Amino acid sequence: MAQPAGPVARHSGVSRERFRQDIYPLRKPAVLKGIDLGTCTTKWTVDYLSQTAGTKEVKIHVSTVPQMDFLSKNFVYRTLPFDVFVRRAAEVKHNEYFISEDEKYYLRSLGDDPRKDIADIRKQFPSLAEDIQIPEYFEKEQFFSSVFRISSAGLQLWTHYDIMDNFLIQITGKKRVILYNPRDAPYLYLAGTKSEVLNVDNPDLEKYPLFMKARRYECSLEAGDVLFIPDFFLPTALWFHNVISEEFGVGVNVFWKHLPSECYDKTDTYGNKDPTAASRAVQILDRALKTLEELPEEYRDFYARRMVLRIQEKAYSTNYE
């Protein structure tokens, strides 16, 4: 069995001041309830969304299975007018479909030119953006992106981390979010920013034996809840999350920069590339490993272990929970 789930704190009616003073500094996920999100919580029905945002084309993920896997790419990308997409995502069985009549849909909205532009619902969906009041519990200049997340019932998004703090604002529908402490990265079988372990509720422990050591935190998000997901910051850094949409639902993710701007990769429109210093360090490490290959095995092993000790001594935080 995997670890039993630990609690995620829940707070009601949190003001900007209280968030910044008492919740943010803890660097732990927290569910914020009862925040005024504007009229979206009552207005955003399937009919209203499709009529208001109209036929703007959106690129979506389509999958025949509920567990989407970014690493094996068990889904395809397709383009649909927004109104058609929303109607299909809200259905369980489709008359018109791409692969199968019970296929699942997922939208992670993008900038107009995803290679250059950052997702901002105020720019891509201005008429809907009027209905949502984003809790600006950070400084205006820190804003990075606001991303639409619309998913079919049952859809499960792979475990990953992002590099910026964010609010996951659940506007309609219910979600279950499973989080892992960043310190448990060694047990998550990572490939880049994603975990190979898809079925977090019933993991294949023969294939992923270390996964049982990962401390799991779990929370449910109801319509109107906001989940704070802290990312990349010492001393708790990088919270992994896996998201299961229990119902058709609409969310908006707001990311903001909490490190100095120059730390981020300027080409990163998704907000999920490691900070530039971390990417450079990994490249240098890869070069060091290649260099070690010039040595016979027992020497390679000896120097590799010495390097690990040096990394531990020089770079590990002493402030480790």
Q: What residues line the site for ligand AKG (CB under 6 A)?
A: 149, 151, 157, 162, 166, 168, 229, 241, 243, 251, 253
C-alpha triplet 195, 196, 202: angle, nearest 5°: 100
H or E segment to which residue 123 belongs: helix 121-124
Rounded to the nearest whole angstrom, what is the least distance from the CB of residue 108 to ligand AKG in the complex? 7
Residue number, 247 or 306, with CB nearest to ligand AKG: 247
Which two tokens mark 154?
């049952």
C-alpha triplet 159, 161, 165: angle, nearest 5°: 135
The full DSSP string for 76-107 is EEEEEEHHHHHHHHH-SS-SS-SS-TT-EEEE
Rounded to the nearest whole angstrom, what is the least distance from the CB of residue 269 to ligand AKG in the complex? 15
Residue number, 50 or 145, with CB nearest to ligand AKG: 145
94 CA to centre of own chain: 28
Give φ, ψ of 37 to 5 degrees. -100, 5
Residue number, 50 or 245, with CB nearest to ligand AKG: 245
Rounded to the nearest whole angstrom, what is the least distance from the CB of residue 80 to ligand AKG in the complex? 18
Residue number, 109 or 166, with CB nearest to ligand AKG: 166
Residue number, 65 or 292, with CB nearest to ligand AKG: 65
Rounded to the nearest whole angstrom, what is the least distance from the CB of residue 302 to ligand AKG in the complex? 41
Rounded to the nearest whole angstrom, what is the least distance from the CB of residue 287 to ligand AKG in the complex? 31
Rounded to the nearest whole angstrom, what is the least distance from the CB of residue 28 to ligand AKG in the complex? 15
3-state secondary structure of 176: strand
Residue number, 148 or 189, with CB nearest to ligand AKG: 148
Residue 25 to residue 314: CA distance in whole angstroms: 25
My answer on whether omega of the bond before 209 falls inside 30° of 0, hence cis, is no
Q: What is the largest CA-CA distance in the chain?
A: 68
Residue 76 to residue 307: CA distance in whole angstroms: 42
